[in-house]
Structure 1
């Protein structure tokens, strides 16, 4: 399947058994945290996030979690190691990279470098309604650090988070920690949160993308042209987006920067 990202062609091939689809719109029967906002039609917004000192504390603490994960795999990592150079330290050692990911893929919110309430309050302001970083389906209170090396197949396939039912009704944030640029930041399809399910062909359970198996189903085809963009928040900003949007599927195109980002979900409180 061919898509575009920032108007440049990109090949996106996903393997897996196709899932039957109907003309239903998932968001139409779900809680929509974008509703009533100026950005409801696009499904995302980029906005200033925490106060400068708090944002700095958050990002520096998250970078230290990456260093901590590297040390846990046996690498000597200095306290001032720039995590955007992660790929230089890992090299071609895929086993060590996967070992790092086992640490960074999921943390309890108690490991956040700032109080989780600060994030909840700001996301609530942006949505216009109270939210909590607590999944009502399993009571989990988690965040994730995504590490995407340049030129590697570290990124997820194009997908909707809500194809995994435990992610219904929430809102997502993408916060750049290091190496996030117009060539590496999260990509999404504006307005696709209102696409009917039969506008895309997706896998039924999980997906194989660039030889790797992913838990989330992936897009195999579409009746519409899929035009991804990279909103690319500045270091002091956050990208807030609906989990019903199609997103992912875009490689880190920078030559020498690993992208590290905070990814976290919030539900109606």
Structure 2
């Protein structure tokens, strides 16, 4: 499948059995935490996040955490190692990269460098209603780090989170930690949270994307060109978006910087 990201052509190779989609709009059957916000039609917003000292504490603390995970994976680094150079350290060592990835998929909120309540308060403000980082479907409190090396198949395929049942009824945040630029930040399709399922073709279950297996189903094609953009939040900002949006497929086109970001989900409190 070919697509354009900010008018730049990219190609996705998606493998997996095709799902027989219908005309349902998944968000119409769900709790829409974007409803009533100025950004409800687009399904996302970029806004100032935490006060400067707290934002810095969050970013610095998560960089420290990633260095810790590197040490656990058998590749210790100095306290001042620039995590945007992760790709230079790891190279194409699949086992070493996987040893890191397995630690950053689901991290308990106790490992956040500052109280989760501070993030909950700001996301509640942006949504205009109280939310909390507690998944009601499994009772878990997790966050994720995403590490995407330049020009490697580290990123998720284009998808909706809600194709996995545990991610219904929430909103997502993307917070830049390192290497997040107009060529590497998260991509999404504005307004696609209200699209019927049969507007795109997707895999039935997981997908093989550019040779890498993912548990999330992936978009295989669309009847019309997809307007994929990178909202590109700055270092003091957050990208807040609906999990019903098509997003992912965020190929890192930086010439020499790994993208590291925080991902976290919030549900009605």
Superposition TM-score, scaled by structure 1 size: 0.99
The Cα of 1:94 is off from its aligned counterpart by 1.4
Partner of 2:234: 234
Partners in 2 of 1:134 and 1:184 — Cα distance? Answer: 28
Partners in 2 of 1:76 and 1:50 — Cα distance? Answer: 30
3-state SS, counterpart of residue 50 of structure 2 = coil
Partners in 2 of 1:130 and 1:178 — Cα distance? Answer: 29
Partner of 2:10: 10
3-state SS, counterpart of residue 102 of structure 1 = helix
Contact 2:34 2:40 in 1 (8 A): yes
Partners in 1 of 2:92 and 2:162 — Cα distance? Answer: 33
Paired residues for 1:53-72 under 5 Å:
53-72=53-72
Partners in 1 of 2:81 and 2:13 — Cα distance? Answer: 35
Partner of 1:100: 100
Partner of 1:41: 41
Paired residues for 1:74-153 under 5 Å:
74-153=74-153
Q: Please list every run of 5 or more consecutive structure 1 residues that lacks an aligned counterpart in the other structure.
A: none
Partner of 1:254: 254
3-state SS, counterpart of residue 117 of structure 1 = helix
The Cα of 1:224 is off from its aligned counterpart by 2.1
Q: Please list every run of 5 or more consecutive structure 2 residues that lacks an aligned counterpart in the other structure.
A: none
1:175-210: CA deviation from partner (whole Å, max 9, x where unpaired): 000000000000000000000000011001100101
Partners in 1 of 2:162 and 2:73 — Cα distance? Answer: 33
1:10-33: CA deviation from partner (whole Å, max 9, x where unpaired): 112211001111111000110001
Partners in 2 of 1:175 and 1:76 — Cα distance? Answer: 25
1:94-148: CA deviation from partner (whole Å, max 9, x where unpaired): 1101101111111011110000000000000000000010000000100000000
Partner of 2:176: 176
Which structure 1 residue ranges, 4+ long, deviate > 3 Å from structure 2?
none
Partners in 1 of 2:117 and 2:241 — Cα distance? Answer: 19
Partners in 1 of 2:259 and 2:69 — Cα distance? Answer: 16
Partner of 1:214: 214
Partners in 2 of 1:123 and 1:93 — Cα distance? Answer: 37
3-state SS, counterpart of residue 221 of structure 1 = strand
Partners in 1 of 2:76 and 2:161 — Cα distance? Answer: 36
RMSD: 0.7
Partners in 2 of 1:53 and 1:223 — Cα distance? Answer: 46
Aligned length: 269
Partners in 2 of 1:92 and 1:214 — Cα distance? Answer: 19
Partners in 2 of 1:13 and 1:79 — Cα distance? Answer: 38
Partners in 1 of 2:188 and 2:45 — Cα distance? Answer: 12
Partner of 2:225: 225
3-state SS, counterpart of residue 45 of structure 1 = strand
Partners in 2 of 1:239 and 1:34 — Cα distance? Answer: 13
Paired residues for 1:178-217 under 5 Å:
178-217=178-217
Partner of 1:163: 163
